[in-house]
Each structure stands twice: as C-alpha cells, then as structure tokens.
Amino acid sequence: MIVEEKKISSEEKFNGYIMNVFKDEVSLNGKKAFREVVRHKGATAVLAVDKNKEGFFVEQFRYPVGKPLFEAPAGKIDPGEEPLACAKRELYEECGVLAEKWTELGPMFSSPGFCDEVIHLFLAEDLSESEPNPDEDEFLDIIKLPVSEVLERVRKGEIPDAKTQILVLRVCDLLGIK
C-alpha cells in the first residue's frame, strides 16, 4: 500500500551553491515523522556517439567518494537554463564536442531516498570535435571508447556511476548495440 507523505513544516539547515538541505516534518498515516531532504537544482548527462559507435566519456576525481570515476559528461543546470541547453554546454565544455542531432532519453533520480536531484539524459549524434573548455576548477581526462565495450563494463559492474550506467543502457537499447 502506497501512503503519501504530506509536509507539515520545513526548516532549511544549509544553503549552498548546488544544493540546499532541509529538515521537514511530515504527516504519515496520521503520525508525524522527519525527513532530511537535499534539494538540488538539477543536472544533465549526455552520451555523444560518433558514426563508428564510439562514445565520449570523462574520468575525473570525485571528492565525495575519494577517487576518480569514469562517467558520461554531465553537469548542473544553471538558473533559467533548459536541460538540452545544459547538455549541449556541458558536452562542449568537457569534451569539445558539438552535435547536430539530439535525443532526449528521459530523466532519472540520482538518490530519491534523500535527494530530489533529477538528471536529464541525452544522446548526441552527428558530431564535430574541437578543443574542450572545462571550468577552471574542472580537471578531467577525455576517454573515447566503443560504446559496446563500455556496455560490457557496465554489465560486469566496473562502472559504479549510476547516471552513466543508465545512460549507456538506454543508448545501447536505442541504437541496437549489444
């Protein structure tokens, strides 16, 4: 049985650059409970695939997990920015890639147990390459690999980043990559 929780009150505990943290009191079947919630501005992730079915990925150190992660290019949505515009910007900044064809692959929630972050997923095709232009605090390596090889790494559990796993699976399904 699904029971909807209703917010009674909300207290902001932290106001940050990309997220805010709240302690909410909720009503749950007539009883009160507390929820700690991270409110996030939203993000995009994009898998750019060339005519040879090779994809552009990045590897960068992720401080919260203490190690580099292999990922699809991604980034937060700026205020007033549409998800597709964000995806185009991030792909160009991180990989120096422009695309003529864009396919929206739907949203995903990164950690819905405590966070409302939605990541909008995209496939980019008909590519042209130039020099990347990463943010000044962004240090990453660009990795171009056959998408089929990355799919195999996802299947083996070698890529722990959820947005990249989901994006690779959706792209492979759409493009018929086994």
**CA 162/CA 166 separation, integer angstroms:** 6
pLDDT digits (tens, 9 = 90+) for 81-91: 999 999 999 99
Percent of the chain with pLDDT over 70: 100
**What is the pLDDT, as a whole number, of residue 161?**
97
**Residue partners of 118: CB distance under 8 A and separation at least 6:** 40, 42, 43, 107, 108, 109, 110
Neighbours of 20 (CB within 10 A): 15
Of these residues, 4, 100, 131, 136, which one is catalytic?
A: 136
pLDDT for 135: 73
pLDDT of residue 107: 97
Is 71 noted as a catalytic residue in this protein? no
pLDDT score recorded for residue 29:
85
Taking the C-alpha atoms of residue 10 and residue 61, their distance in angstroms, rounded to an integer, is 34
Can you give the pLDDT at residue 160?
97
| Interatomic CA distance for residues 109 and 45, integer angstroms | 12
Environment class of 66 (CB within 10 Å of its CB; exposed 0-12, middle 13-18, buried 19+): exposed
Would you say 47 and 55 are in contact if contact means Cβ atoms under 8 Å apart? Answer: yes
Of residues 41, 136, 54, the one with CA closest to residue 93 = 136
Let me know: does 37 contact 21? Beta carbons within 8 Å: yes
pLDDT in tens, 144-162: 999 999 999 999 999 999 9
Question: What is the chain's Cα-based Rg?
Answer: 18
pLDDT digits (tens, 9 = 90+) for 24-80: 999 988 899 999 999 999 999 999 999 999 999 999 999 999 999 999 999 999 999
pTM: 0.93
Strands (E), 77-164: 97-109, 118-129, 140-146
pLDDT value at position 111?
A: 94
Q: How confident is the model at residue 110 (pLDDT cuts 50, 70, 90)?
A: very high
pLDDT of residue 1: 75
